[in-house]
């Protein structure tokens, strides 16, 4: 089975963390667009509305090859020009509601997806359902998808920026490159834990995180109670999004992360001197309920993922071949 990504086969909708209040100096503009990326929309709006880059807020990037519904925050003074600015991009404004604060990265409840697949045989629908049931029970490895890495130089550029090299202007581009490097290191740690059979169970010294509240704690030892809480998807180990303020694990978990740093030519001292603050990220996330609708050689998956988790990773875990458009 395969997934040929396009605006006709891939739909993603942001789920807001909270509704806008109805008053304030920012407009939360929810819009629908097809076949254009979030960075492109941002740059075109900046030009059309005469805004500085920092005046536009968004919760996250959405793929170009998709039909996407997402929200930007814009200064309220742009209200009378919104329809023309978005219309010039072929985007449809669905709502525009005032709010006191700018929308920040990651401030959403999650994303809802609908993905159309091509099956090689009708029987593959049963394998697809079995795979979805497994992910619902075990959770989804929280790897970053390929769209997080942009062009082939993003990770290398991000590493240089992380170590202090400055990129004149282009704040969003610099931040994207640093996050691409951080994502590559995180994926390396996750891949190594899976390769060594150290996923998703906790290691002694792991920094664990609760899925309901986000609370973090150290697994002093991998005892039966901790392992049971992992099995029932109450908690999961975390991996590094390296930066100077990032909490470190200890013991075996720390040893593994220090090994990963070495593969990128880093150590704890170089991380402590970085400009990026850093954070911890779940090594896996609940996949929730994945709905499968199949007829003949066509299937549609409908599911919801937490912020920062990737539909393409879920598809890869199900054995779906990802086919990118040549355009």
Known catalytic residues? 63
Q: Which tokens is 67 given?
A: 């039909």
Q: Provide the 10 A C-beta neighbour count for residue 245.
A: 10
Can you say whether the dihedral through the CA atoms of 91, 26, 100, 171 is positive or negative?
positive
Separation of CA 27 from chain center: 24
Distances (CA, A) of 75 to 47, 181, 258, 280: 14, 32, 44, 32
Q: How far apart are CA 199 and CA 283, in angstroms?
A: 8
Q: How far apart are CA 281 and CA 79, in angstroms?
A: 37
Phi first, then psi, for residue 143 (nearest 5°) are -70, 160
| 16, 108 Cβ separation under 8 angstroms | yes
Can you say whether the dihedral through the CA atoms of 145, 157, 324, 94 is positive or negative?
positive
Q: Which tokens is 243 given?
A: 């930066």
Which is nearest to 229 in space by CA: 246, 250, 249, 215? 215
| 70, 59 Cβ separation under 8 angstroms | yes
Going by their DSSP bridges, the two strands 140-141 and 284-285 should be labelled as antiparallel
Which is nearest to 95 in space by CA: 71, 66, 62? 71
């Amino acid at each position: 089975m395969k997934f040929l990504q396009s605006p006709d086969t891939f739909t993603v909708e942001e789920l807001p963390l909270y509704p806008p209040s109805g008053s304030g100096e920012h407009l939360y503009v929810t819009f629908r667009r097809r076949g254009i990326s979030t960075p492109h929309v941002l740059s075109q709006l900046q030009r059309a509305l005469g805004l500085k880059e920092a005046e536009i807020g968004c919760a996250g990037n959405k793929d170009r090859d998709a039909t996407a519904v997402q929200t930007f925050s814009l200064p309220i003074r742009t209200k009378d020009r919104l329809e023309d600015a978005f219309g010039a991009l072929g985007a449809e404004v669905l709502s525009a509601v005032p709010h006191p604060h700018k929308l920040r990265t990651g401030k959403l409840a999650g994303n809802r997806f609908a993905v159309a697949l091509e099956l090689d045989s009708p029987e593959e629908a049963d394998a697809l359902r079995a795979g979805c049931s497994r992910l619902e029970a075990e959770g989804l490895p929280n790897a970053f998808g390929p769209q997080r890495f942009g062009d082939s130089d993003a990770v290398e550029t991000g590493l240089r920026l992380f170590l202090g090299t400055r990129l004149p202007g282009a704040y969003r581009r610099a931040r994207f490159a640093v996050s691409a490097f951080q994502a590559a290191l995180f994926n390396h740690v996750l891949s190594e834990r899976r390769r060594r059979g150290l996923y998703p169970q906790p290691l002694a010294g792991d920094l664990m995180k609760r899925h309901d509240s986000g609370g973090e704690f150290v697994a002093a030892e991998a005892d039966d109670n901790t392992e049971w809480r992992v099995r029932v998807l109450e908690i999961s180990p975390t991996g590094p999004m390296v930066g100077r303020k990032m909490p470190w694990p200890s013991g075996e978990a720390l040893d593994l992360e220090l090994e990963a740093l070495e593969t990128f030519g880093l150590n704890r001292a170089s991380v402590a001197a970085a400009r990026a603050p850093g954070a911890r990220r779940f090594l896996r996330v609940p996949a929730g309920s994945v709905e499968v609708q199949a007829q003949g050689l066509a299937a549609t998956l409908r599911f919801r993922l937490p912020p920062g988790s990737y539909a393409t990773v879920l598809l890869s875990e199900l054995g779906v071949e990802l086919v990118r458009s040549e355009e």
